[in-house]
A and B are shown apart, each in its own frame.
Chain A
């Protein structure tokens, strides 16, 4: 499903690449967690996979899409049709209520399915919140809305960047569980970037990002 080969990304004024010959293979429906120290490049890797940024070298293949796309409209279509993204800071549209926020991606793709949306909202426990505005929700509620939005249009891949980063411990567990279970139910490939061990261990394939590459195990003595 996801094949990354020898990916390199270096920011201006940095002495070393933050992503350095990274390689990754993810099968369809697999859940992968990526941990690492602050500033190690976890969010950068997700941004590259989402097409928000372009790598300096290497290839990313997600399904039949090769990133970066030659044409911008292909990249837009990829994000619209194939991808679901969950952000650390929720990134809901402040001007739309919960229902419209969630439905937005489905409407964008043209695959509105109200019963399906209801099901997702029930699963995530946010059905009663449908008319509320994001500013009236707690952090956990907002993140669950964001997860529902990322899934409602049946993407092939969901990228979650620190989905529990702004939540307390109890809520983190609930949100993480919801995310993993619903992705498993929908057989959606899931990549979760997190610094939380509890969240990372729920993935089928936990990984570590260190010195710009991915590893299956932490370094000895590392946190």
Chain B
């Protein structure tokens, strides 16, 4: 027979034989297919969620249209007229957009077929009319979106039988309102159910101003509420506008608190990191399923080799089988991931809107790209993981030759030492975000290897520790020992998920504690005033003490640095916590010989107290000439904490740096109890410190909610891997379980015993995961955060956080295990397994 033909026939014989094996135990390849589906589905979902969040405005620090600067009436007795609006626009302030507010009453109409009447929603919403044509000039997404909504067939259609207007609202409000019959006011045209759009505050429905002023709603009884600045105004423009305004109007600067803020960078990093974690755990699931299949096929493989099937023929056929499973599972997994993300998009939009006041844009997946990359990644990963078992399978000629000598304690200790050394070197030498993340990966993989090395030994120790009077307990522990060797990969997946969970929880908790403590200390004044210009003494009054701060910019070692001024009195010293300082730091500072720098500057420029720096010219924005601050040579007297600031910053004494044009926009107010604050409230935005701290912490908590959700998903995925292993290995245990039943052990005792052995394994894993999770938290804080954002905070260990993380993870495993345990066969089956 020609050689090529023979080779083809040979290969085909192998394929048919593998197919016959697959048919005989279909759950084995099905497990692999399902595992690949879960992996590719999970990865597709995470990748699409990342895309949706990125495309959304989470990273957009531009404040929403209605939360920026605006022109308002100076007092309730005055109002903005149409003539005021026209005059300002004709004077060149074309970024000002007229809005008018209506707080009700409003009614929400149900679907006509429902038979329900309209319900009052006045308390839930405010309707704002916006001059959408003027807004179009600013080329804002909101304007385009409203215009598109008016023309789109997907947008809510006109209300039958009545003239109606398009409207828009935040995604959260749209999902809450549910008014298919539209929204009606006492007068004026009806409003169609709103289209979800971003940059709209919650509880607000936006309509075109032309539609707002219909019916009995006139400029006389509902004057223009404000002229909002659609695009930010430079200080020069603000000054020009302030000069242009008639006396009955005033300029209100934008609030300083930006809600999406600088936490968006960390959120993006979180999403990315969780995606990688999902990928690792998913790969473990697939590897687990693959290893289980090959283990059960090993006798057959040995026979094939003994019959003369070549090693590479076998490996080629096995690879072909893997490619087939990938080809079958990948499209199903990707499509399931896409479908799941699409189904979840309304929930995700609502979650993002409610928690972050930010949009989640429905991602449009490039299916071909997703499919190809998912197939390539999953097949490549399978091939990588296939190498080792393939060599073993291909080389096996008899069972005896396959038995590898287990590592002895000395060898295990040696490998452990190598792992510890490699991880330590990686962590200590990490000098960038990338290397820090690689350290994270090495720690997780190192921990997994240690689990593989030591878990069987640990469980064997337990075997010796069980008293002989408890035979069932002894069986549980001994079976755990045997089980641990076969389920190492599933245990590793659980270990990775739990370690990451603990690490993230400890990191988040430390960050939260540090942030709250820092805010409480820094916001030493009972109130703060945000305004475009400093308040005058008459506005402040005689009882209140006002501390104004100033800002500018300079350069140090060629890098831009922002400059702020601070007083050197005791109040300032108490409120500015220095993490490092010279003994006479404040003395040097008050003598204008030294500067205080923030942690970001210290880390980026490798500066410590005592270092000498040379300041560049200190300028105030828009001013040509530098501000004179004294000698350029300075000593770094101390380093202060400045969480969340992306910029390097240094402080100069207030006595030296207080340029009128450099007003920082914020004034700290002391002795405000009982004082008349009305003038200040009319002048700018006044905040009580407690409210500021509450708002900040609420923002903080919202940012990490999605990370927590992804943590739970990863945990569930790991639990799934565990459950799959349990299902498979329980089949192997069937003869033993049957034997136990014949000995009189009751069914519930058997299930409890099985559950106990799995939970024992998980608990042992959890004990190993605890220190690794804490170590991971340390890496996140002192490495990842340090290199990514140039600031760190102290690691705080809370027993409550650690215990709750472990208990929650174990609970998840327990719940997931209920399924395979529940399906255990009740019948006593004394038939022997077939030979081989």
Contacts and interface: CB of A to CB of B under 8 A. Distances in A.
Interface in A65-113: 72-73, 76-81, 83, 85, 89-96, 100, 104-105, 107-110
B836 A108 contact: no
A166 interface: yes
Given A76-B309, A76-B311, A166-B835, A91 B9 contact: no
B310 interface: yes
A135 B306 contact: no
A94 B398 CA distance: 17
Nearest to B313: A76
Nearest to A91: B303
B307 A53 contact: no
5 closest Cβ contacts across the A-B interface? A80-B308, A95-B20, A79-B308, A95-B24, A135-B834
A186 B636 CA distance: 99
A52 B306 contact: yes
Nearest to B312: A73
A81 B835 CA distance: 27
B308 A110 contact: no
A93 B398 CA distance: 15
B311 A72 contact: yes
Contacts of B23: 95
Interface hub of A72, A95, A100, A142 (most chain B Cβ within 10 A) = A95
A18 B836 CA distance: 26
A80 B307 contact: yes
Given A76-B310, A94-B24, A108-B309, 12 more contacts: A47-B398, A51-B397, A85-B306, A91-B306, A92-B303, A95-B21, A95-B23, A104-B17, A105-B308, A107-B13, A108-B10, A109-B308
A108 B834 contact: no
Interface of B: 1, 6, 9-10, 13, 17, 20-21, 23-24, 299-300, 303-311, 397-398, 401, 834-836
Binding site secondary structure of chain A: helix
Contacts of B309: 76, 80, 108
A210 B10 CA distance: 41
Given A107-B13, A108-B13, A76 B308 contact: yes
Contacts of B305: 76
Contact of B836 (A47, A72, A91, A110): A91
28 contacts: A50-B306, A52-B306, A53-B397, A53-B398, A73-B310, A76-B309, A76-B311, A77-B308, A78-B308, A79-B307, A79-B308, A80-B308, A81-B308, A85-B307, A89-B836, A91-B303, A92-B303, A92-B836, A94-B24, A94-B300, A95-B21, A95-B24, A96-B17, A100-B20, A104-B13, A110-B1, A110-B6, A166-B835
A103 B9 CA distance: 14
Contact of B306 (A79, A110, A166): A79
B401 A93 contact: no
B191 to A, nearest CB: 68
B402 to A, nearest CB: 11
Contacts of A36: none
A91 to B, nearest CB: 5
Contacts of A85: 306-307
A134 interface: yes
A104 B10 CA distance: 11
A85 B303 CA distance: 10
